[in-house]
Amino acid sequence: MDDLFNIKFVRGKIVGHWDWTFEIPLFRTVARVGKPGWKERLEEELEKIEYLKRLKKEDNLFSKVEQDPKNPRIFYVEGVSDNNEKIRFNLRLPIRYPFVPPYAEEYYFGQYSFYSYSDHGRVACLDKINNRWNKEGRHGIAHFLAMLGYYTALARHNVNIRSLTRKTRKRRKIRK
Amino acid sequence: MLPLDARNQLAMNSPKMFSRIIFAGLDIRKLLSKTALIGGCGGLGVIVGEILARTGIGKLILIDRDIVEEENFNRLIFDRDDIGQPKAMCLAKKLESIRNSGEIESKFHLKTEAYQEDVVAWMDLEELIGKSDIIITCFDNEAARIELNAYAVALNKPLIDGGTSENALRGTVITVLPGKTPCLECYWSNETLIPIDDSDPEEEDLKTSILKVPCGASLATTMNIIGSLQADQVLKILLEYGELIPQIRISLEDKLSLSTFHSTRRPGCPACGDL
């Protein structure tokens, strides 16, 4: 049983998992970095990051998210994993953000990088995040971190992400 | 292009390595005063870089965030001694060694600037693009391409993009002349940029796939053709000759094919819509 990511194992099989992405409301403001509306968008980003932190209060995976004071398109993320490993990576916002997801630079978990931007989506985290990203720009950093934590958790447990994603979509309807 | 009688004169006053280029009619004096920025020093970047260096470009600015690994050996230039070195710095060193020699006057030397950086959200990028005459994107991801495209369009610099398909047998060269031909964002609208990968029949074990497939497929054959076509478009723009083609596609699959397209700009494109 892994409480950190709300994944429950019974006889070696996953019986339940939780994805916080669905809990975070969609963004009201859609604006590119530095363009009109970005100030309001940034306020909403910070608000939703706090919201995510409250949702994930049981873990400290992404407990600190700070914007670079000089570069508005870089955020520093810090946290602690369930193995008490310190996690630290940069979040870069591409020029087309929020229509495309941010990406996690130097995001390593243990010895593996479960996330990459250069393999045409064949690494699970990026592939899944890209596919699920709201193309109208209504997902933000908080949604990204929620997805990143969720898929990293699955990846670390060597779970077949593709089949789980399908299940997740079905579960979403059931929860409503 | 140089008139016939001027070619002999120029060839006499230039290093021997440029004589064949001058006989082809290219004015290397013009090229020597130009700066090209190459984004991505992988399979395509090394081809474009080497062609431009050997043809007589004055300065190359090279950017790549990666280091040389064994998996890069299926393409050109890099060898085992380069493993672990940043690609951009390594390429710069090799290109300088091709061009620069004590026997050649320093005004014919190649100048390089190399950066091991991720271009997305990189603050120095605008300044580097500002001092370049042409931008060549040879990246393996859309985010980096779109980033350079945005600055190239804003600063009115021509951009030549090259890319190959996931099976490495097809390739595309896109020439962006801001305000005249479609920019990269015209091709990738919000709806089409993100690939929906639901067709993959393989239910691969995740950890295995991470370890097995660190990067997409690439073949030196396709890369060389695409890189050469990119370099050709660069020379045409810098030396102002020939016809520029907005989009060239090649395929080395069952049948060998080369097709050209004249696409139109997308109204309301966030990058070039206001031009």
For the cut 70, the answer to whether the pLDDT of residue B93 exceeds it is: yes
Q: Is residue B269 part of a domain?
A: no
**pLDDT score for A18:** 62
**What CATH number should be reported for the domain holding residue B229?**
3.40.50.720
Please count the residue pairs, one from chain A and one from chain B, whose beta carbons lie less than 8 angstroms apart.
96
For the cut 70, the answer to whether the pLDDT of residue A176 exceeds it is: no
Query: Nearest-CA distance from B194 to chain A in Å?
Result: 6
Q: In this structure, which amino acid lies at residue A130?
A: N
**pLDDT score for B126:** 93
Rounded to 5 degrees, φ, ψ at B13 are -95, 10
Q: Is residue B275 part of a domain?
A: no
User: In the numeric block, which tokens belong to residue A83?
Assistant: 């193995």
Report the chain B residue with the minimal C-alpha distance to residue A154.
Answer: B206
Q: How far is A145 from A104, CA to CA, in rounded Å?
A: 9
B195/A120 Cβ within 8 A = yes
Q: Is residue B270 part of a domain?
A: no
pLDDT in tens, B9-58: 888 889 999 999 999 999 999 999 999 999 999 999 999 999 999 999 99
pLDDT in tens, B182-232: 999 888 765 443 333 443 434 343 333 333 333 567 889 999 999 999 999
Question: End-to-end alpha-carbon separation of chain B, Å?
Answer: 30
**Which stretches of B86-125 are assigned E, i.e. beta strand?**
111-115
Q: Compute the C-alpha angle A153/A159/A165, nearest 5°.
A: 85
pLDDT in tens, B105-159: 999 999 999 999 999 999 899 999 999 999 999 998 888 999 999 999 999 999 9
Query: Nearest-CA distance from A163 to chain B in Å?
Result: 8
Residues of A numbered 102-131 whose beta carbons fall under 8 angstroms of chain B's beta carbons: which are they? 103, 105, 112-114, 116-124, 127, 130-131
Percent of chain A with pLDDT over 90: 28
Instruction: Tell me the mean pLDDT in the region A123-135.
Output: 77
C-alpha dist (Å) from residue B109 to B2, B26, B232: 22, 17, 21
Report the chain A residue with the minimal C-alpha distance to residue B40.
Answer: A118
**pLDDT score for A157:** 66
Q: How far is B31 from B53, CA to CA, in rounded Å?
A: 10
Query: Nearest-CA distance from B86 to chain A in Å?
Result: 16
B197/A161 Cβ within 8 A = no
Its domain, for residue B205, covers 4-8+15-190+197-261
> What does the DSSP 8-state code read for residue B145?
H
Q: Is residue B48 part of a domain?
A: yes
Chain mean pLDDT for chain A: 75
Instruction: Tell me the mean pLDDT in the region A115-139.
Output: 69
Q: How far is A172 from B115, CA to CA, in rounded Å?
A: 45
Instruction: Tell me the mean pLDDT in the region B244-257.
Output: 90
Q: Is residue B268 part of a domain?
A: no
For the cut 60, the answer to whether the pLDDT of residue A171 exceeds it is: no
B193/A99 Cβ within 8 A = yes
> What does the DSSP 8-state code read for residue B253?
S
Instruction: Tell me the mean pLDDT in the region A134-161.
Output: 80
Residues of A in contact with B190 (CB under 8 A): 96, 99, 135-137
Collect all residues with Cβ–Cβ distance below 8 Å to A27 and sequence separation of at least 6: A41, A44, A45, A48, A98, A137, A138, A139, A140
Chain B residues whose C-beta is within 8 A of a chain A C-beta are: 118, 120-121, 123, 140-143, 146-147, 150, 166, 185, 190-191, 193-198, 200, 203, 205-207, 209-210, 213-216, 270
Residues of A in contact with B197 (CB under 8 A): 121, 127, 131
Q: Is residue B246 part of a domain?
A: yes
Are the C-beta atoms of A153 and A56 separated by less than 8 Å?
Answer: no
The three-state (H, E, C) secondary structure of chain A, written as one string: CECCCCEEEECCEEEECCCHHHHCCCCCCCCCCCCCCHHHHHHHHHHHHHHHHHHCCCCCCCCEEEECCCCCCEEEEEEECCCCCEEEEEEECCCCCCCCCCEEECCCECCECCCCCCCCCCCHHHHHHHHHCCCCCCCCHHHHHHHHHHHHHHHHCCCCHHHHHHHHHHHHHHHC
pLDDT in tens, A30-86: 999 988 899 999 999 999 999 888 877 767 778 889 999 999 999 999 988 777 778
Q: How far is A14 from A9, CA to CA, in rounded Å?
A: 5
Instruction: Dihedral sign for Cα B86, B105, B131, B142, please.
Output: negative
For the cut 60, the answer to whether the pLDDT of residue A116 exceeds it is: no
Domains of chain A listed by start with CATH number: 20-175 (3.10.110.10)
For the cut 80, the answer to whether the pLDDT of residue A5 exceeds it is: no
For the cut 60, the answer to whether the pLDDT of residue A11 exceeds it is: no
Of A14-28, A157-171, B198-212, least confident by mean pLDDT is B198-212
B209/A123 Cβ within 8 A = yes
> What does the DSSP 8-state code read for residue B108?
G
- Identify the H or E element spanning B173: strand B170-176
B203/A130 Cβ within 8 A = no
For the cut 70, the answer to whether the pLDDT of residue A4 exceeds it is: no
For the cut 60, the answer to whether the pLDDT of residue A159 exceeds it is: no
B194/A100 Cβ within 8 A = yes
Total domains present in chain B: 1
Are the C-beta atoms of B160 and B60 separated by less than 8 Å?
Answer: no
Q: Compute the C-alpha angle B229/B233/B235, nearest 5°.
A: 115
C-alpha dist (Å) from residue B274 to B155, B182, B190: 13, 12, 18
